[in-house]
Every structure is written in structure tokens, then in C-alpha cells.
């Protein structure tokens, strides 16, 4: 048996995601219910380095379940990636009497948690908080459902003007390395195509889309594109259409950080609450260095290194579904 956990620290790191506050609330209240003390760490690992730490009570998280963003704030910390920065972070964990750290965030945030755990043999629990839904071992991540609904709402509005003006709209969404948002929002919004990282083959996706759908029967189309540093995302495909198919009127909408904000959906509130509660249960069971996820509606523990290193596959059937329904 390891050291008894009497005080837990919570931080949110990386990009914010709707539902993070619901998760903070669940962790705080579950910990207090179990006789533990809770320390809220502001501004992620940067705040941990700088000692921006405050004790949380049940009242600290009152009236937060419906709020987007994160009451603990978030930041990306370059200093934490250095040995000196990590040492400062660990020293503050010791100074404030924090026996275990719960990190809510995406791939980079959980990588930082794993590095801290390994370097100092320190108990860490990761919770998947990212709109990209790209962490292995969990069916869904906190914030994904809300972002998906935000995208669908925006695309519904864009379709009105696309139809009125006989235009092709390329709508760029987040998900640089994972196409879950693009693929599923395309199906939900009735888009004609989705261009995602997982579907990069020798086939020219733009040519395939033009020949299959738009050229044959449609006078307006919506194409959802995952953001990409490699080829420039939606702007790249719009420029190609202007050059290769000048007969078409093309527009681009980049949704950007609009996707991160807003009131979390019921699904995200419930998921975040379950995962937050489960993180304290995991510590009570002696679990450490695991990500708490959900699979087939059951709570699961996934080693953090697997969650961040293994690629989460997209269901290829979704690609087939969109192709059939977009004719």
C-alpha cells in the first residue's frame, strides 16, 4: 500500500473544454465527501510552478456545472518542460502538502503528468479534457459533445447562405491529428464531405468530392475540413477549387475558438461528473498514473502512457456512411 491520500490537487491544462468545471466540481465534492482536502491549482503547470494554489471548499465550486471554460484557468507552460521547472512544480506539491495530483487536459497535459509521475514517483490521475476526442482508451472526452453540437449549429446556419448563393463552403474545424469532430459533424449536419487526417490516401479527396457529388447533382455544398498545418486546411482546398474549378463560387469559414466555448451539454456534464467522481475512487483504490476514461458506458482505468501514445482509430464505417448519404 502506498501513502494514504489526504490532500489532492486539481489543475486544468492546455486548451479549455466545456465540462471542465463540472469535472472540477465533481472531484472537489467527492474528495470532501471522503474526508480529503482539496487544493485548486490555477493556470495549469505554470501556476503550479508559481505557487498559485488555493484550498477549495464545496462552496468554491457552487454554480459552476453549467459554465464553460475552466474556473481554474489554464496556460501552456514551457518552463514545466525543463528539469528546473518540473522541480519547482514538485517542490510546491510538497510545500502545499498535496499527496496526489489530478490533471484535466489533453495529450500534452497528460504527457506532463506522466513525466512528473515518473521523475518523482508521484501519484497522478489523468482525466481526458479535450474537444478533439483523440485520447486512446476512452469512448469520449470532456468537451467533445459540446463542441460537436456547436459545429453542427454553425453549419446549419452556413447551409442557408450556401444554398441561397449556390456556393461551396469549406468549413474548418479543430482536430489537427484526429478527424472525430469533422467526420461526425459532417454526418450530423448533412454535409457533402469531410476531409480528415485518417482518410489521407493516394486518392485526391477534393477531386473525389467534386466528381462524386457537386458536379453531378448539387448547386451548393458543405465540406467539413480538419485543421491542418501540413496543407493549410480549408484555405488550401478553397484555393484549389478557385484554380482548378473556377466555375464554382467558393467561401471559407474557420470556426476556430468558437468551438471551445459555450455551456456544456448534458452529455458533457454527466461525463465530466462521472469521471471526476471516479478519479477520487481511483485514488482510494490505490490507482496511480492512470487516465480515467469511459468505455461502453463503464468507467475504465487506462495507463497514461497508453492513452497518450496509442492512436485512437476512427470508425471507418463513418466514412462510408457519409459517402452514401451525401449523394
User: What's the pLDDT tens digit per position in 21-42?
Assistant: 999 999 999 999 999 999 999 9
Read off the pLDDT band of 148 (50, 70, 90).
very high
Phi/psi of residue 231, each to 5°? -120, 0
Q: What is the CA radius of gyration of the chain?
A: 22
CA distance 217 to 141: 37
Read off the pLDDT band of 211 (50, 70, 90).
low
Q: Which residue has the cell 453531378?
A: 216
Q: Per-residue pLDDT for 209 more than 80?
A: no
Question: What are the DSSP E strand ranges found in 43-159?
Answer: 53-56, 100-105, 124-128
Interior angle at CA 54, CA 48 and CA 59, nearest 5: 135
| Residues constituting the chain | 327
Phi/psi of residue 290, each to 5°? -125, 155
Read off the pLDDT band of 246 (50, 70, 90).
confident
Q: Per-residue pLDDT for 169 more than 50?
A: yes
Of 107, 45, 52, nearest to 79 by C-alpha is 45
Q: What is the pLDDT of residue 327?
A: 73
**Mean pLDDT, the chain, integer:** 91
Q: What is the pLDDT of residue 201?
A: 52
Section 89-112 average pLDDT: 97
Of 213, 257, 204, 258, nearest to 231 by C-alpha is 204
Read off the pLDDT band of 1 (50, 70, 90).
very low
C-alpha 280: how far from chain center = 21
CA distance 261 to 123: 31
Pick the residue with more confidence: 205 or 133? 133
Pick the residue with more confidence: 307 or 197? 307
Active-site residue list: 132
Q: Per-residue pLDDT for 214 more than 60?
A: no
Q: What is the pLDDT of residue 212?
A: 62
Amino acid at each position: 500500500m502506498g501513502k494514504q491520500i489526504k490532500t489532492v490537487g486539481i489543475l486544468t491544462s492546455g486548451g479549455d473544454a466545456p465540462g471542465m468545471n463540472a469535472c472540477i466540481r465533481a472531484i472537489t465534492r467527492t474528495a470532501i465527501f471522503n474526508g480529503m482536502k482539496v487544493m485548486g491549482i490555477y493556470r495549469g503547470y505554470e501556476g503550479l510552478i508559481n505557487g498559485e494554489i488555493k484550498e477549495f471548499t464545496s462552496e468554491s465550486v457552487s454554480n459552476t456545472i453549467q459554465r464553460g471554460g475552466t474556473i481554474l484557468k489554464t496556460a501552456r507552460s514551457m518552463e514545466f518542460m525543463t528539469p528546473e521547472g518540473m522541480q519547482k512544480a514538485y517542490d510546491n506539491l510538497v510545500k502545499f502538502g498535496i499527496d496526489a495530483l489530478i490533471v484535466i487536459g489533453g495529450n500534452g497535459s497528460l504527457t506532463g503528468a506522466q513525466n512528473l509521475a515518473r521523475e518523482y514517483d508521484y501519484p497522478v490521475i489523468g482525466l481526458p479534457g479535450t474537444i478533439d476526442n483523440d485520447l486512446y482508451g476512452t469512448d469520449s472526452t470532456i468537451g467533445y459533445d459540446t463542441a460537436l453540437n456547436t459545429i453542427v449549429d454553425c453549419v446549419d446556419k452556413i447551409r442557408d447562405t450556401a444554398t441561397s448563393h449556390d456556393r461551396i463552403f469549406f468549413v474548418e474545424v479543430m482536430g489537427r491529428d484526429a478527424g472525430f469532430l469533422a467526420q461526425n459533424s459532417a454526418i450530423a449536419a448533412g454535409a457533402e464531405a469531410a476531409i480528415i487526417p485518417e482518410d489521407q490516401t493516394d486518392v485526391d479527396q477534393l477531386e473525389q468530392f467534386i466528381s462524386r457529388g457537386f458536379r453531378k447533382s448539387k448547386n451548393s455544398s458543405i465540406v467539413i475540413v480538419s485543421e491542418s498545418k501540413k496543407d493549410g486546411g480549408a484555405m488550401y482546398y478553397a484555393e484549389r477549387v478557385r484554380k482548378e474549378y473556377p466555375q464554382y463560387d467558393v467561401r471559407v469559414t474557420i470556426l476556430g475558438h468558437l468551438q471551445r466555448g459555450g455551456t456544456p451539454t448534458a452529455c458533457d456534464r454527466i461525463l465530466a461528473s462521472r469521471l471526476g467522481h471516479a478519479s477520487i475512487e481511483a485514488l482510494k483504490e490505490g490507482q496511480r498514473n492512470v487516465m480515467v476514461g469511459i468505455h461502453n458506458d463503464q468507467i475504465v482505468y487506462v495507463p497514461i502512457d497508453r492513452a497518450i501514445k496509442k492512436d485512437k482509430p476512427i470508425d471507418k464505417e463513418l466514412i462510408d456512411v457519409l459517402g452514401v448519404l451525401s449523394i
